Each structure stands twice: as C-alpha cells, then as structure tokens.
Structure 1
Amino acid sequence: MNIDWNALHLVRPEALWALLALPPIALLWHWRRRRGNAWQANVDAHLLRHLLVAGGRRAWGGLVLLLAGWTLAVLALAGPSWRQVAQPLWQSPSPLVVALDLSSRVTATDLPPSRLLQARAKLASLLRQRQGGEVALLAYADDAYTVAPLTEDMANVALYLDALAPTVMPRDGQRAERALQAAVLLLQQSGARSGDILLLTDRVDDSDGRAAGSARAQGFNVSVLGLGTPTGAAYRSGDGQILQARLEEAPLRALAIAGGGRYARIANDDADLKALGVLTPTISADDRRDGDGLAWRDEGFWLLPPLLLLSLWAFRRRGLAMLLVACVALPLAAPAPAQAAEGTLWRRADQVDQTRLGAGVEAYRRGDFKAAQQQFEGIDSVPGWYNLGNALARQGQYDAAIEAYDKVLRRAPGMPDAVANRAAVDAARKRKPPTPPQGGDGGQSPKPPPGAQGKSQQGQDPGKPSPGQRQPADNGPPPPQPEPGQKKDGQARPAAGNPDPAAQARADAAQREQMQQALQRQGKDGKDAPAQRQAAESPQQREQRQAVEAWMRRVPDDPGSLLRAKFQLENERRKREGR
C-alpha cells in the first residue's frame, strides 16, 4: 500500500476537537489514582513518601495506554484519506407537471373528433416517449385537482387518461392560475428546486400570466400547448349555452414568455412536443455537479487493529468483567425481529415503521401485493392502515380492506383518498362475481350474480341450472325450470338429479358440431385460437364462463366515477376551509 503523504486528507476533520479531552482525561486519572491510595488517610504526607516505593514508568503505563487509545480512536473517526476513488454522480432529470384544461371549452370539435380526444392522445404520446424523469397530471376548470402525483411510472399516469372529461369536474370554469399554483405546490412538496410545467389550454388571462411569472421566480418554467384552431368551433357550456371557442395564441405566447418556457400549437405528429422540449427532460441545475466524480476514500479502518491491540489492557482486573458485561448486554439490547416495530437500540419505532413502509411500497409497485401486505401489517398509523387497505383490495380481500379503511377514517376523518378508495372497494365487493358452490352438484354450477332474487319454493336458485341442463348460448336469463319429476308437457321425465344420458349425449354432440362449424368460419379470420380453447372446455366450464360474461356485461362501465368522487370530496373540503 503506497501512501501519498502530500495528499493526506481528513474526511471529518471536526472530529479532532475530541483531542481536547486528553488533558482532562490525564488529570482525572491522576486524581483517582491519588484518591484510591488507602495509605494517604492513615500516614502523614511527610512520612508517606519515605514508606512507599515509587512505581516508576510502570505506574504511568496505564495512563499512556489510555491516552494512546483515545488518540487512535479520534484519528480513525476523523477519517484519514490519502487517495480518491471514482464515484458515480446521480443527476436528477427535471420533473414535469402537466395541467390539462377540462372546462367545457375542451369539447369543441375544431380538432376532430374533439379537443379532448386530441389532448388525451397527445398526453399518451408524451408519456410513452418521454425519456425518464417524474411526471404528474393535474386537471383544472374552476379549480385544479391532482389526477396523479409525481411518479416515474408513466403507465400509472396513463391509466387515468380515458377518464378525463369535463363531467368529472365539480364546477365549470377556466382558471389556469389555480392549475399553475397547484403545479408549483406539487413540485415543492417533492423537494424539487426546479422543474417544468406544461399547460394545455386554448386561452388565458392576465392573472394566469402573473401566476406563470411567480412560478418562474420560484425556479419552475411554464410552457403552453395550444388546443384548438383560430377559427374555433361551437360548444355547449356548463349552463347549457351554445358558445364559440377559439384558440387565442397571443395571450398563450405571452404566458409562456412570462413563465420562461415555450409555446407550440398542438400538431398531428410529435413536432409540438419536440418544440416544447418535454420529451427529453433536462438535468436539474441543483443536481448537476462539476468535476470528475472522485471522492476521498475513508482509510480510518487501518487504525482499528492497533486500537484493538491497546484494548487488551482492558482485560486486566475489573476490565475483563466490564468487557464480558458489554458482550452480553449488547446482544440482549437488540430486539427480536417480531419486536422490530417497537424500536431498536439504534432506531426509534417510527424509523422502523418508516423503513417497513418503504419496503412495502416497493413491493406494491412490483405487483407483489402479498409481500406488501406483510410489510404493512402491524404499522399502527394512518399511512400503515391506508396502504394495507390498498394491498388487501388488490388481492380481492375486500372485507379486510374496508376494515383497514375504516381504521384510517377513525383516525383521519374525511381523508379524501381513504373515502374514495373505500367507496370503490365497497362497490367492487357488491359487484364481485360469485365463486362456484361446493355443494351437491360438485361445485360446477355457478351461483347467480349479486342482486339476483331469492330461492324458489323448491330451494333452488332461479338463475342456477339444474344438473344435466344447459344454459342458453345467448347468455340471457335462463328460462324458468319445471317442477322436479315433470316435463313441460305434463308427461313424466327423469328427476333433475338423474338426467337422461341419451338426451344429454345428443345435446353435447349437437353443440360440438355447432362449435366445429364456428371454428371453421373463424379460422379464416385468424381468430381460431380462442374458439379452440372454448371447444376444449367441459360443459360445466362453458356454463360458468357464459354466466360470468353475462354478469360482466351487466356491470356499468364508468371509469371516471372514481375521479369524479375524488374531486367532489376535495372540492367540499376546500369549501369548508374557505378556499
């Protein structure tokens, strides 16, 4: 090991202040040594020096060892270093907050089929082509609301695009300054000192320009993507009036200049996004570092072997007992894994919970909801119960998830996310498709979906086919079942529990023939794979699939309901706060 003494460097030079304790340590040692001498209390001082034999250098050996050990420990703590090693530099791309105008003007059709659909497609292209960096999505009309917070998961943001429409907004309006203020707040809460804001709208006013200038003063650039055409088109406002919406480019350009950004009109290709510079995020000036990426390497560990050799002096007399006590007490002070949530010797309980929350969030993002549930369990806090409810809901454990949300709402009444998620999970629980029963029919006949009527007089579910019968192929409601032991024409027939084998075989053969004909027709279009899988199904599996498909067609498809409820709750909370 070659040491360049000219490059000697201390990583933590402030630790050398501990060397000032050397004189007090020496004085304390000398004072205790003199006080510990029992002869001083019984022999006069002028006679004592003639009776005692001086210890010489051996008497001072303990003090020398103590001072040397202290000095080595302080030097090791100071981090002596004489070489530099390469260290990768982390450079954070500037985050982007997109604010979409969801006023009634966005329904104008001067961008066919409408401005809204064009804006959705443009945002999908942006999320698909952006090269790194965090992205957040805001929607605004009379006020601004967070659709998706800052995240590097672009697919998570894209999930909400199809639900964006003016109908999800609590009130109609067009206040871009509220969107700019909310975007700045999002960026500041994430700890970013710089970033970009992209506004998608067709018009702004003077107050919006002042908000853009304020955002620029705080380190955030504001760019604008114009929606619409100068000729414009008619639209229906929130109060039912027919008005004209035109693209006002001059105010939009002025706002972009005030915000330190760029302006571009929406285009059919990616030229507008490239002109705005949002596809390739810039490196934040606060996170960019100059230099060659070298860092001083802490070499203080080389002083530990001589320090350990000096510590052998502690084995003398009572030092050995103290060392044994420390070796036994330290392992006992570390808690067992099951008690980690109560804190450890080195970390508080809240720090342990925060570490588990981070591990659970990582597992949740990976899609390992079971592992996330295990991490969130036992964290008795609002974030712990809220995240546990989300993990349980993703596993289909709706009852347990609702119980977790209830605990959150008892501690944080009116929490918007918890209220919205609980409502969504409760609705999913009511719509949950039935699982096959484990009763006398071998668990092969499906139960009716939720909302079906009660049982018939014979104790049989009205929508449940009896053994040996087939459900109609059109997935419609099954016909009423005749009384057991009778046919529809009044003639005798085998009981429902003992179907006619010959009739069943003929029905199966006829259905297989129809399926083969369908396969031949679909094979020409390249769609024979799903049909082949359906042909391989047993009659009971086919009946169950058809029942589930019929149930799915009855489930209302309203992807914007969650956003609508979330924005409405946030709007009511702001009203209570006087905003």
Structure 2
Amino acid sequence: MLEKLKHIDWEKFHFLRTDYLWFGVGAILILAIGFLFYKENYAWKKQITKHLRPYVIQKGNSWKMILIRLSILIMFAIGLVAFLGPTWSQFKAPAKKVTSQFAIALDMSQSMLTTDVSPNRLERAKFKIHDLLDANPKAATNLVLFSGSTHVAIPFTTDYKIIGDQLDGLQPRMMPQSGTEFSLLFKKLDTLFTNNKAEGKILLITDDLDNLSIEMVSSFLQQNNVKLYLYPFATQSGGTIPVHKQKSALDLSKLNSLDELDQVEVLEITLDNSDVEDLAKAISAHIVFEDKTDQQDENWEDQGYWLVFPLAFIFLFSFRKGWALNLIIILLCFSSCSDGNKPKKEDFKFKDLWYTKEYQAQQEYDAKNYTKAAVAFKAPMHKGVAYYKAGDYLSAETAFKQDNTVSSLYNLGLTYAKLGRLAESEAVFEKVLEKDPSNTNAKSNLTHVKQAITEMEALKPEDVNVNDKPIAKNEQNKSPEDLSGGGQKATKKDMQKKRLEETAETGKRKGKELDELPDNFKSGKGELPKNILMRKVDDDPALFLSKKFRYQIKKGMVETKKTNNSW
C-alpha cells in the first residue's frame, strides 16, 4: 500500500470530482469568517457564585482557542480534498453481466388453420413451441399473440410451464380483430426491447409473408438490439383457408429477401424437434453479455481514502467530555438499519435510513398495496399472502411452494381452489391433514372441495361434440333442426341440448369465485366459503385471454387495424 504513495505520478495527478470544489471553498470561507467575527459571551459565568468560580472555571489561553479553530479548518480542508477524489493511477474495471430476453410472436390469424402442415399450421406451431420450451433456452421468455391486434399473453418469465399451460387452448376465434397486421406487432415488440443492453431474441411464427414489409423489418432491427428468428409455417404448394375458401401459400421470394438481412435467421420445419433444439442452444449459448456502457474510457482509482489517516490523527485531539457520545448519536442517525446488502444507488430511499426492507414491506401491506409488498417481502409465506391478496394467484402458488410449513401448505390449497384447480387443492388439503390431523379448517375445506368436484363432473357436457368452426352471427339456419329462431318451435329437450352445445362451443366453464380473503388466512387457518360449490369453476385459460384482449381494446390499451384480407 505504501508503494503507491512512494510512486505518485504527478503528471497524471488530478481530481475526479472537481465540480464540487467551489462548494468546499465556499464552506471553508464561511467557517473562517465565522471564527474571525465570533465573540465569546461571558454572561453565563455570572450565574456561578463568585467564590466558586475559581474552582469551576479554569482560565484558558488564547492560543488554545486559535489552535482549535485552526484544526477545524485543517480537518475540513483535508476532508474536502479527500472528497474531491485525488488520483494518479488507473485500474481495469470488471464488465457488468446482463442477460438476454426472448419473445415468441405467434400468428393467430384464420389462415393458421390451413392443413397443408399437419394437423394444421397453428397446432404444429404449438407443438414446436412446447418442444422449444422443453429444450430450455434459459432466457426470460414471453408470449405475444397477434392478428389484427397484438397482445402480450404472458409477460417475461423463466417459468415455462405458465406459457405451456396457455398454449393448448389458443384458437384464432379468441382474437378480437381478424387479419394479420405486422405494423402493430413490431410496434409492441419495440416497447418490449427498448434500451435493452443485451441482445434480445424474437421468434416470429407466421404463415403470411405477403404483408410483412422488408423495409419495416430492417428499420426495426436497426433501431433495436435484437435478432429475429423467422419461422414460416406454410408450404409452397399451400392450402385452402377454412371458411374463407382462399388459397394460402408460402412466398419463397419474400422469404429469401428477408433471409438476406443481417439480423434475420430463417428456420426450417423438421419432422422431429431438432430445429427448436438448435434454436434453444443458440439462445442459451448467447444469453449473457458484457455491459460496457457504464465504463469510462479511462478508469481512475480514487486515492482519497489515504487522507483518512491524517484526518483521524488530528481528530483524536479534539475529543472533549460528551463529544464522543454526541458523535455516536450522529453516526447512528445517518446509518441504515437495513441488512448488510447495500442497496443500489437508484433504489435507495430516505426511509431506508430508518426502516428495514421487511418493515417497509409490512407498511405497504397494511396500506393494501399488496403487489409492492409482495415484491419487497423476502419470506415466501409473506410473499404468497401478499400476492394472493393482490389477485396474482400464480405468483402466490410459486411463493407458497417455497415454504415447507403446514400453514403455507394450507394456504397453497386455498390458492389452488381460487385458481379452479380443485383436484390439486384436494390433494394439498389431504397432505395438511396428514401432517396436522387436528386441523378442523382443512377437514371442512376438503369436504367442500370434494363436493365441488362431484358437482363439476355432474355438469360436464361430455357427450357434446365441439366444432371449432365459429358460429356466424345474425345468420338464420334454414335446416330442419334450427333452434336459433328459424321459425320452428323448439322442445324443452332441444333447448337443453342447445345450451350444452353453446357452453361447449364458447369454452365457458361457469364457476363461482371465492369470497373475500378470510382475516385468518395469513396464519394458515382461513376457511373456504361454504357456498363455493354453486357453479362450475372457470378453468379455461383461452376464455380468460379472450376476455382480457377484448377488455384491452375496449379501454384503448391496444390498437387495432383492419387488414385487406379477412383472415
């Protein structure tokens, strides 16, 4: 360490924070002026009896007062120089590691139902996405669905099971606007990869290249740090689009033009899963990047800490009775009672000086800001409860699974019931009773769940054939079996059959939600409402996404455009 002081390169000597120099000089001038014009007030001495003054007050010397004032100025000057950051040597700073993100954009237009790719283009695309996720690309992945509008179905997550659970029920009829509009898709992708420091990856699965502008793709790639994997799901011979009776085929010339772009790679469909396995390996192999944006051209080592030693030496002579205690109190006031993990500069808040992160999370929880509380909590039990109250049941499930206590297991059973996964809820409550046979609430809830499963099975329209063909609105059926207003009189039996067909066609699963969260939920003793079994549980993810997309359009959160074609 002393070698650094012996070999100071004065040619390279400079200060890192010169912008603060004038503030320090101004403070020193204020102190000096204050000392020059300060006049001691001796009025307090008159309060002491005259004959006791010689024993209470010791006569001082004027040079001591001058020395004290001079030492204060010297200490302040040394501290200022240390703060300005004197430096004369450089060091090599390690690069910051950042991870890449991966977006899957799936075409949900009617043409994806064409059967030139078996069983049809959309179903094969779903199979490929499942295989891709099973191959574990390791990157945070999201699912974007697009047609005449673009929607984020699943935000970025590393829990691929969440994406896989949503895939199977996806159908073009759930999209609010038909067609294939790429401008809205790339506008949404632009918001997902704005200012991303690591190179992002996008997998675009589509069968319609006619409406995909090369200029638009090129401009998007130039403005964003991303790589585009284009996965065309169509053949050159093509096929007929159901209902529309239009021909849809792969535009090979457009595909070759897109393949010539620098950041575009075209994938070819294989009968096995080797194509998506290679893609997963390519993504995982380039998932970590070095972030060099924060590095300066020259990294100088701050040597101001050396001045702490003379500053401490001078400060030792300034102790008086009471001052040491006052100094400790001052240090405590400006120290944080948080844990040893130093918060990031951008995340630091003034209340971090006074409250721990856990206490701040509890404050958010008490204020009913459950999402903020869930993020701040570290204990899985507390996280799960906060996520549950925020309505994020999937995150609550993940949190409760990380805790092995009976209380968390019990709360997990309630969460499964809220999600409509009654079979899993039943299994969890049975585990709770195995560990704690005296848990009366678990026994009661297990009875309710079993009854709900029984009533659900009784209401299932299992004998009804579901046709994927969409029902045309305001169209009169002229067949003899018309039950929708064609003029014939329907029997009661026919009407019951029609209701079952409508329920199966729309994919609705009627169900009653849980009542408000019980007050004793947090301790793992909450009860299920006794009237939970009135209707079937809504367990269709596609129906939820369809309602979500239509709500987004209704509220103006998502744009729509009418395309030249209706598929």
TM-score by length of 2: 0.59
Question: 2:70 is matched with which residue?
Answer: 64
Deviation at 1:185, TM superposition (A): 1.2
Aligned to 1:198: 203
Note the alpha carbon deviations across 1:49-80, whole angstroms, 9 max, x for none. Answer: xxxx9977545312321121112212332344
Structure 1 residue 101, shift from structure 2 partner:
0.7
Corresponding residue number in structure 2 for 1:142: 148
The residue identity in structure 2 corresponding to 1:233 is: G
- Decide which of 538, 560, 570 is 2:552's aligned counterpart: 570
Q: Which aligned pairs between 1:90-239 and structure 2 lie closer than 5 A?
A: 90-129=96-135, 132-188=138-194, 191-192=196-197, 195-206=200-211, 208-219=213-224, 220-236=226-242
Contact kept? 2:128, 2:276, Cα under 8 Å? no
2:351 alignment partner in structure 1 = 343
Q: How does 1:492-507 map to 2 (within 5 A)?
A: none
* Helix, strand or coil at the partner of 1:65: helix
Q: Which amino acid aligns with 1:263?
A: V
Shift of 1:26: 5.1
CA distance in 1, matches of 2:14, 2:137: 40
Aligned partners of 2:28 and 2:73 also within 8 Å: no
From 4, 8, 12, the equivalent of 1:5 is 8
Tell me if structure 2 keeps the 8 A contact 1:130–1:279: no
Deviation at 1:201, TM superposition (A): 0.8
Q: CA offsets, 1:188-224, max 9 Å, x none?
A: 2x74585343311111345644532341242244442
Three-state SS of the structure 1 residue aligned to 2:98 is coil
Bigger Rg over Cα: 1
1:91–1:288 Cα contact (<8 Å) kept: no
Q: TM-score, normalised by structure 1?
A: 0.57
CA distance in 2 between counterparts of 1:452 and 1:5 reads 80
Are 2:37 and 1:27 equivalent residues in the alignment?
no
Which one of 307, 313, 316 corresponds to residue 309 of structure 1? 313
Q: Distance in 1 between matches of 2:452 and 2:104?
A: 42
Instruction: Kindly state the Cα deviation for residue 231 of structure 1 after the two structures are TM-superposed.
Output: 1.0
**What letter matches 1:370 in structure 2?**
M
Question: Structure 2 CA distance, aligned partners of 1:393 and 1:284?
Answer: 26
Q: Could you tell me which of 35, 40, 50 is aligned with 1:36?
A: 40
- Secondary structure of 1:119's partner? helix
Q: How far apart are residue 137 of structure 1 and its match?
A: 2.0
Secondary structure in 1 aligned to 2:291?
Answer: coil
Compared with structure 1, are the counterparts of its residues 285 and 387 closer, same or farther at alpha carbon in structure 2 (3 Å cutoff)?
same
Q: Distance in 2 between matches of 1:393 and 1:194?
A: 29
Q: Is the 8 A contact 1:107 1:115 kept in 2?
A: yes
> What one-letter code is carried by the residue in structure 2 that aligns with 1:327?
I
Higher RCO structure, 1 or 2 (CA under 8 Å, sep 6+): 2
Contact preservation (8 Å) 2:113, 2:122: yes
Quote the offset at 1:181 in angstroms.
1.4
- Aligned-partner SS, 1:574: coil
Residues 328, 75 of structure 1: alpha-carbon distance in 2 compared, 3 angstrom cutoff? same
Q: Is the 8 A contact 2:147 2:180 kept in 1?
A: yes
Structure 1 pair 29–290 and aligned structure 2 pair: CA distance change class (3 A): closer
CA distance in 2, matches of 1:355, 1:193: 35
- Opposite residue 221 of structure 2, the aligned amino acid is R
In 2, the alpha carbon distance for the partners of 1:100 and 1:336 equals 48
Check the 8 A contact 1:120/1:162 in 2, yes or no.
yes
**Partners of 2:351 and 2:123 in 1: CA distance:** 52
Q: Relative to 1, partners in 2 of residues 1:303 and 1:439: Cα closer, same or farther, differing over 3 Å?
A: closer
CA distance in 2, matches of 1:163, 1:228: 21
215 and 447 in structure 1: CA distance in 2 versus 1, 3 angstrom threshold: same
Residue 462 (structure 2) aligns with: none
* Map 1:35-54 → 2, pairs under 5 A: 35-36=39-40
**1:141 CA displacement:** 1.6
- 2:234–2:249 Cα contact (<8 Å) kept: yes
**Paired amino acid for 1:216:** L
Deviates more, 1:193-202 or 1:341-350: 341-350
Unaligned runs of 5+ in 2: 44-58, 339-347, 365-370, 401-406, 459-532, 562-567
Alignment partner of 1:425 is 2:418: yes
Residues 177 and 560 in structure 2, CA contact (< 8 A), matched pair in contact too: no
Measured against aligned partners, the alpha-carbon deviations of 1:79-125 in whole angstroms (never above 9, x if no partner) come to 44565556432243543322111222222222223322322233234
Moved more, 79-88 or 302-311: 79-88
Between the aligned partners of 2:439 and 2:155, the Cα distance in structure 1 is: 48
| Cα deviation digits, residues 111-146 of structure 1 (max 9, x gap) | 223322322233234344465544322111221111
SS of residue matched to 1:5? coil
CA distance in 1, matches of 2:423, 2:88: 68
Q: Secondary structure at the match of 1:241?
A: coil
1:10 deviates by 4.6
Amino acid at match of 1:425: K
Aligned pair in 2 of structure 1 residues 244, 350: CA closer, same or farther (>3 Å)? farther
Give the distance between the partners of 2:351 and 2:269, measured in 1 at CA: 55
Q: How does 1:396-407 map to 2 (within 5 A)?
A: none
Deviates more, 1:554-563 or 1:69-78: 554-563
Distance 1:205 1:322, change over 3 A: farther
CA RMSD of aligned residues (A): 5.5
Cα separation, 1, equivalents of 2:381 and 2:447: 28
Output the amino acid matched with 1:372. Answer: K
Contact 2:337 2:355 survives alignment (8 Å)? no
Q: Which amino acid aligns with 2:71?
A: L
Task: Tell me how far 1:276 sits from its aligned partner.
Answer: 11
Partner SS, residue 142 of structure 1 = coil
Measure the CA separation in 2 of the matches of 1:300 and 1:344. 27
Residue 331 of structure 1: how far off its partner (Å): 4.1
- 2:489 maps to which residue? none
Instruction: Please give the alpha-carbon distance, in whole angstroms, between the structure 1 residues aligned to 2:141 and 2:300.
Output: 35
**Contact 1:72–1:307 under 8 Å retained in 2:** yes
Are 2:101 and 2:200, in contact at CA under 8 Å, matched by a contact in 1?
yes
Q: Is the 8 A contact 2:337 2:353 kept in 1?
A: no
Change (3 A) 1:571 1:303: same
Check conservation: 1:133, 1:281, Cα contact below 8 A: no
Q: Distance in 2 between matches of 1:394 and 1:285?
A: 29
Partner amino acid for 2:167?
L
**Distance of 1:430 and 1:89 partners within structure 2:** 49
Partner AA of 2:308 in structure 1: L
CA change 1:263–1:121 in 2 (3 A) is same
Identity in percent:
20
Map of 1:428-447 to 2, 5 A cutoff?
Answer: 433=426, 447=447
- 1:560 equivalent in alignment to 2:560: no
- Match of 1:302, as an amino acid? W
Matched, 1:264 2:267: yes
Contiguous gaps of at least 5 residues in structure 1: 40-52, 378-382, 404-420, 455-462, 464-550
Distance, in Å, in 2 between the alignment partners of 1:253 and 1:118 is 23
Q: Which residue of 2 aligns with 1:248?
A: 251
